[in-house]
Amino acid sequence: MVEAAYAEPALRALYPFTSHWALRFSTTTRPGLTTVGPCLTAGSDGMYAVNRGFITADLGLFTTAQEAVALAVRLLPTGLGPIALAG
């Protein structure tokens, strides 16, 4: 999942972090994360989920990490700027 996300320039431009077994992205660094877009999870069943929260694959369930990442990229808001340092 991390490698698939890193392959996407739009996600690579964001600050990645993990929380609750999910891969998330922020427009700011720690400690003041500003999360953006959906979160990505990999299940023990070999499936990859795109979620609004941490539990339910409410945006999509996929057989490959690349498919899940592609949806996450499509769901990113427009006009994201460079990563900012959190205060």
- Under the banding of pLDDT at 50, 70 and 90, the label for residue 50 is very high
Structure tokens at 56: 């339910």
Residue 65 covered by a domain: yes
Residue 50 covered by a domain: yes
Q: How many domains does the chain have?
A: 1
DSSP-derived pairing of the beta strands 60-62 and 48-51: antiparallel
Residue 80 covered by a domain: no
Q: What is the mean pLDDT of residues 61-87?
A: 92
Residue 16 covered by a domain: yes
Range of the domain at 32: 2-74
Residue 41 covered by a domain: yes
Q: What is the mean pLDDT of residues 71-82?
A: 92
Q: How far is CA 19 from CA 16, 43, 81, in A?
A: 10, 15, 23
Residue 51 covered by a domain: yes
pLDDT for residue 4 is more than 90: yes
pLDDT for residue 57 is more than 90: no
